[in-house]
Amino acid sequence: MKILRKYVLTEFITPFILSMAVLIFIFSLVFLTQYTSLIINKGVGVGMVIKLFFYSLFYPFSYILPLAIFTSTLWSLGRISSDNEIAAIKATGTNIIHLIMPLLTLGLIASLFMVIFNNKLMPGANFERRKALVDIGINNPTATLEAGTFIDTFQKYIIFIYKIEGNKLTNIRIYEPLGPGRPARTTIAKRGEFISIPDKGMVKLKLMDGSSDEPNPSNPNVFYKLNFKTNFINLNIAKAQQGQISKKPKDMTIEELKTEIKRVKRDGVDPNPLITEIHKKISLAFACLVLILIGCPLSIITKQRLKSVNLGLALVIFGVYYLLMLGANALSLEGAIPPQLAMWLPNIVFGLLGLIFTLSICVF
């Protein structure tokens, strides 16, 4: 029995390493393509881009590991089954459960590791990535801006820029919301440029050849249009630079989320999104175990030796799992299903299917 378990694990390890390498390479290539333009076109420092690239890899890793484990399970057991080795093992009176138990144990260990990863490492990396983006925005404001879109990165203002070339801006519109029931204050300029002041956490926007709406002191709802040759607007984001940028639910550990839940409850705010995030972190971690549970019997039933077929099957099934997770997340946020049930729904469905398939191959 010990030899059999060692044999299964040996068959599993090579496709697992290969799957991990390929998936990490694909995601790395996507991020490299995106971030290399920051160096070439935006003049962002190489060190800052490397830091941004490193922290960006943490989030997809929570999906890469389960997919790699699932693919490797189909690949390894599919090869064994296609060579009729499974039939030979069953002929000796050995229960199939003993064959797949090493992989299930490996899936449980991977899931426990992912609980720690999703709770401790990934939130910190997400937060550091956001801070890196803020630092880039302060030192090189145009690096994170895109022409032709509304930009709400800066406090108080919504900015629309038609064309960005380096630090030079063309056709700029700046909207300053003044509150409910009041029209936004608007500033328009033909040209402009950003002047970065990193030590003060401030970006100064220099506007040229434009006009601005100035409120009538006696009637704030009435504006006068004033023309200018040169005008400056201070875009203060000092708090972000000082590390006081607020954490989003994805940036929080489970302990921080529980503290935040208590706070929002005191304020009379619905804590459902925060509860959803807690259960999402844990349930996604156990995708490693659940996917192995369904992958073992499926690979024995299909008996596919071809790597391409196993990879395609893995992507289809994992895609269904991911879509089910997205749907459950949406229903949980809307309050249609309690988060405690919604975020575990994909694992329950796939786990039950895995148990049914496993029992079927053990009986027949």
pLDDT in tens, 241-292: 444 567 888 899 999 999 999 988 887 778 888 999 999 999 999 999 999 9
Residue 47, both tokens: 């060190």
Give the domain-ending residue among 171, 204, 236: 236
Note whether 218 and 120 are same-domain residues.
no
Which of 83-97, 164-178, 341-355 shows the lowest per-residue confidence on average (mean pLDDT)?
83-97
Note whether 35 and 80 are same-domain residues.
yes
- Cα(188)–Cα(207) distance, rounded to whole angstroms? 8
82-91, 105-114, 189-198: range with highest mean pLDDT: 105-114
* Predicted local confidence at residue 302, as pLDDT: 75
* Predicted local confidence at residue 49, as pLDDT: 84
Helix (H, G, I), strand (E, B) or coil at 303: coil
- Cα(197)–Cα(119) distance, rounded to whole angstroms? 36
Note whether 307 and 349 are same-domain residues.
yes
Note whether 177 and 55 are same-domain residues.
no
Decide: residue 124, CB within 10 A, 0-12 exposed, 13-18 middle, 19+ buried: middle
Note whether 18 and 129 are same-domain residues.
yes
Any domain includes 322: yes
Is residue 65 predicted with pLDDT exceeding 60?
yes
Any domain includes 285: yes
270-to-131, 275, 337 alpha-carbon distances in Å: 27, 10, 14
Give the domain-ending residue among 208, 236, 264: 236
Any domain includes 306: yes
* Predicted local confidence at residue 299, as pLDDT: 83
* Predicted local confidence at residue 242, as pLDDT: 45
**Domains contained in the chain, number:** 2
Residue 107: pLDDT band (50, 70, 90) is very high
Q: Where are the beta strands (DSSP E) in 17-167?
A: 150-151, 158-165
* Predicted local confidence at residue 144, as pLDDT: 63
- Which of 318, 339, 311 lies closest to 72, judged by CA? 311
Note whether 172 and 127 are same-domain residues.
no
Note whether 194 and 275 are same-domain residues.
no
Is residue 120 predicted with pLDDT exceeding 50?
yes
Each as own residue / partner, the long-range contacts of residues 184-187 (CB below 8 Å, 24 or more positions apart, any chain) are 184/158, 185/212, 185/213, 185/215, 185/223, 186/212, 186/213, 187/211, 187/212, 187/213, 187/231, 187/233
Helix (H, G, I), strand (E, B) or coil at 197: strand
Stated pTM of the model: 0.74
* Predicted local confidence at residue 220, as pLDDT: 63
pLDDT in tens, 174-230: 888 877 766 777 889 999 988 877 666 667 888 999 998 776 666 666 677 888 899
Give the domain-ending residue among 178, 210, 236: 236
Task: Using alpha carbons only, give the angle 336, 337, 341 rounded to the nearest 5 degrees.
Answer: 170
Residue 1, both tokens: 């029995």
Q: What is the mean pLDDT of the chain?
A: 83
- Cα(233)–Cα(203) distance, rounded to whole angstroms? 9
Q: Average pLDDT, stretch 36-64?
A: 84
- Cα(97)–Cα(255) distance, rounded to whole angstroms? 37
* Predicted local confidence at residue 55, as pLDDT: 93
Helix (H, G, I), strand (E, B) or coil at 181: coil
Could you count the other beta carbons within 10 Å of the beta carbon of residue 310?
26
- Which of 141, 154, 128, 152 lies closest to 43, judged by CA? 141
Task: Using alpha carbons only, give the angle 90, 96, 99 rounded to the nearest 5 degrees.
Answer: 110
Which residues, at least 6 apart from 252, have a Cβ–Cβ distance to it below 8 Å? Answer: 123, 260, 277
Note whether 50 and 123 are same-domain residues.
yes
Note whether 126 and 44 are same-domain residues.
yes
* Predicted local confidence at residue 225, as pLDDT: 82
Any domain includes 166: yes
Cα 169–chain centre separation: 31
**Pairing state between β 202-216 and 219-236:** antiparallel
Any domain includes 144: no
- Cα(99)–Cα(265) distance, rounded to whole angstroms? 49
Note whether 201 and 319 are same-domain residues.
no
Only one residue has tokens 């995030």, namely 277
pLDDT in tens, 276-287: 999 999 999 999
Which of 26-30, 111-115, 266-270 shows the lowest per-residue confidence on average (mean pLDDT)?
266-270
Q: Average pLDDT, stretch 109-118?
A: 96
- Cα(207)–Cα(244) distance, rounded to whole angstroms? 29
Any domain includes 143: no
Which of 1-15, 87-101, 122-136 shows the lowest per-residue confidence on average (mean pLDDT)?
87-101
Note whether 90 and 13 are same-domain residues.
yes
Residue 344: pLDDT band (50, 70, 90) is very high
Note whether 12 and 124 are same-domain residues.
yes
Which residues, at least 6 apart from 202, have a Cβ–Cβ distance to it below 8 Å? Answer: 138, 234, 235, 236, 237, 238
DSSP letters, 255-296, are: HHHHHHHHHHHHTT---HHHHHHHHHHHHHHTHHHHHHHHHH
200: domain range?
154-236
